[in-house]
Amino acid sequence: MAELTNLTLKESLQALNLGQASSVELTQAYLKRIVALEPQLHAFITLTPEKALQSAKAADEKRTRLAKSGQAIPALLGMPLAIKDVLCLAGTRATCGSKMLENFVPPFNATAVQKLIDAGVVPLGKTNTDEFAMGSSTENSAYGVTRNPWDLTRVPGGSSGGSAAAAAAKLAPAALGTDTGGSVRQPASFCGVTGIKPTYGRVSRYGLIAYGSSLDSIGVLARTAEDAEIIFRLMAGFDERDATSSDTPVADAVCSDHTSIKGLRIGVPKEYFISGIQPEVEKAVREAIRVYEELGAEIVEISLPHTEYALPVYYLIAPAEASANLARYDGVRFGLRVEDGGMLDMFMRSRGRGFGAEVKRRIMLGTYALSAGYYDAYYGQAQKVRTLIRADFDTAFTKVDAIAAPVAPTTAFKIGGHGDDPLAMYLEDVFTLPANLAGVPGLAFPVGFDTQDLPIGMQLMGRHFEEQTLFRLGHAFQLATGWHKRAPVL
Amino acid sequence: MTLTLKEVEHIALLARLELTDAEKRRYQQQLSHILEHVAQLQTLDTIQTEPAPDALPKGARLRADEPKPGLTAGQALENAPSAKKGQFRVPPVME
């Protein structure tokens, strides 16, 4: 048996199902690797090795029991998994990367987490994130920055940077992330892994600690499109506890040895190939598009004319929603309480001390955009332009089945590289924000490396609830190329 | 678009955020800069455009308004910074 942590999730499942490895062995292999590499990487905020080994042992016993009585084995029974620290896992603290929630222990599981636990996963711990998922580098975490496994002086991207680093460094077979403006896709790109941001409404948001409720989605960071599809399909589906959850049926798995993309039309939007983009990024993405042409796809030039407005729209809508969502942290029911003086003092001080700089900045910006006299000019106008951005996608998807573009203008940047310039950091998200505003799914995966050996990511965006088209395309690319197999030397 | 320090203080009060003087000055400068950037939205003609309140093709739905088991009072209080007699304890609201 090869080193267990080198197996993909699908290969690990086969090993478990064939009795070549137990869940305890698999879990121990990952915990051992975490102990060795975590001091360099800091991918996790909270590790739960004892709980993981307990549930691995329980999974092995369950497997034996079910096999004896001839019953079906749950799809992921005994599979280790890392979970971003903005998702509720009952009994393990969920900090959201914030001092505000340093001691918050959720009494329930997020629906997505519950579904995976029902399928048998073994949680290893909670991964690092920018505070309340606000950021593009994990530098906004109150618990320290995560380092990019390809270059420890660089960021892993964000906000799901801990999950991306964990997936890339093989600290877990896969990790859950969340994507409000690119927070699965951009770190996937920076760390050279595959990340799916599902359609808005596809995966229940219940138990995802809210940031921007009309934009938030729960996704997966994995080593292959096939692995991401396995986890995605188990999380997806209707949940009455999320008013925006959709009952659109989830498609059957499409990744197989025979996945074909013949006849699919891929749109290339000119607005995503602009000046300022790192030349190697453009070159690698264009080369990947050429691979698709060879594989039988039809390549179509398209236009998404309102792309340039996505950034200002997002940085009004997301902070506005955040300012409302984060109003709940006032020191009363959970989280940090700084109590001196009366009620108002308690609110102001608890929030002033519990939140970090970026969270306060977005709360301030959102409060302003929603305040009397400015609502129509800022928030109202942003909502209207959001309609135009969505219409761009609707029009494009009458002509093509998927849209190919870079994930980010550059490869991973240096820790501290953007200093204290929020707008420079926001520009990192320029290519990922539109999918969230339109609610469409996106898949990011590696398509090359720059001269500094840093991964370059491409994203494919698809029609609402057609993740299967993205998995088909992603998997076909990975059958034909080897970029996703490259791993950082640690 | 330049915010005054007084406007920053007003927003901070609305947002219930205690800020240091240094934070106020930093946010005055940074928020002004961000607002200048987002002002480009004003150049678009949206008179005929409906706002998009969410990202859903079909919009949100509500479940039937029926009582169902949820968290127990004990569970709801587990994370309370201060609780007494099965309730959240807070400082006096009135003097």
> What does each of the 490 residues of chain A score in pLDDT, given as a tens digit?
569 999 999 999 999 999 999 999 999 999 999 999 999 999 999 999 999 999 999 999 999 999 999 999 999 999 999 999 999 999 999 999 999 999 999 999 999 999 999 999 999 999 999 999 999 999 999 999 999 999 999 999 999 999 999 999 999 999 999 999 999 999 999 999 999 999 999 999 999 999 999 999 999 999 999 999 999 999 999 999 999 999 999 999 999 998 999 999 999 999 999 888 999 999 999 999 999 999 999 999 999 999 999 999 999 999 999 999 999 999 999 999 999 889 999 999 999 999 999 999 999 999 999 998 999 999 999 999 999 999 999 999 999 999 999 999 999 999 999 878 888 889 889 999 999 999 999 999 999 999 999 999 999 999 999 999 999 999 999 999 999 999 999 9
Among the listed residues A213, A209, A175, the one whose alpha carbon sits nearest the alpha carbon of residue A194: A175
Nearest to A312 among B37, B52, B78 (CB): B37
Chain A hits for B13, CB-CB cut-off 8 Å, are: 348
A200 with B93: Cβ contact below 8 A: no
| Partner-chain contact B56 A439, CB within 8 Å | yes
* Preferred mutation among B2, B26, B47, B54 to probe A, highest tally of A CBs within 10 A: B54
- CA proximity to A38, closest of A170, A142, A137: A170
The rounded Cα A278 to chain-centroid distance in angstroms is: 23
Q: Please spell the DSSP secondary structure of A414-463, one letter per residue.
A: BTTTTTT-HHHHHGGGTTTHHHHHHT--EEEEEEEE-TTS-EEEEEEEE-
Rounded to two decimals, the ipTM of the complex is 0.95
User: What's the number of CA atoms in the CB half-sphere (13 Å) around residue A424?
Assistant: 7
Chain B residue nearest residue A311, CA to CA: B38
Residues 6+ away with beta carbon under 8 Å from B51 = A380, A383, A384, A386, A387
Chain B residues within an 8 Å CB radius of A109: none
Q: Determine how many CB atoms are found less than 10 A away from the CB of residue A305.
A: 14
Instruction: For residue A371, give both structure tokens.
Output: 């305040």
Catalytic residues of A: 84, 159, 183
B12 with A244: Cβ contact below 8 A: no
| H-helix segments, A42-110 | 49-68
